[in-house]
Amino acid sequence: MSDQAVHGTASGTSTHRTAKRTGWVGWVYFAGTMLVLVGGFNLIEGLVALFNDQYYVPTRQGLLLFDITGWGWIHLIMGGLAVIVGIGLFTGATWARIGGVAFAALNAIVQLAFLSAYPVWAMIVITIDILIIWALIVHGDEARSTEDW
């Protein structure tokens, strides 16, 4: 097969455009790394809640909407999904970008339940989630580039 037949034009030029990668694509890989890391933290939080239900102590205002075991399973599932989505971001998959934004937004909201008991930790995780959302929305298209480095 000739090069012209592969590209579909008589002049041999390509009909599809590829975006050039810039240094900003690093933010997408940062978001992927952070999703894997935050997912790992959620896995640990979920396991702690499942195996030691006295670790998370509710305050007078309350800590959780669910019992500790239910909360542990939620964190475990969310953590596993976050790790999968984070790994998917390294491939530049669109589903991973959408899933990453959705997970980070949901995780930031879930961390609000921990504000009364662990305010510093919850604020750190919420800040990381906001950075993930920003990186994926602003610079996510650059990871899809098919052009070689």
Q: What pLDDT does 83 receive?
A: 93
Residue 33 has pLDDT above 50, yes or no: yes
pLDDT, average across residues 16-28: 67
Q: What pLDDT does 36 receive?
A: 92
Specify whether the CB–CB gap between 29 and 136 falls below 8 A. Answer: no
pLDDT band at 144 (very low <50, low <70, confident <90, very high): low
User: Which one-letter amino acid corresponds to residue 1?
Assistant: M
Rg, C-alpha atoms of the chain = 20
pLDDT tens-digit profile of 106-142? 989 988 877 877 789 889 989 999 999 998 888 777 7
| Residue 119 burial class via C-beta count within 10 angstroms: exposed 0-12, middle 13-18, buried 19 and up | exposed
pLDDT band at 8 (very low <50, low <70, confident <90, very high): very low
Structure tokens at 23: 């240094």
**Chain-wide mean pLDDT for the chain?**
77
pLDDT, average across residues 1-16: 49
pLDDT band at 19 (very low <50, low <70, confident <90, very high): low
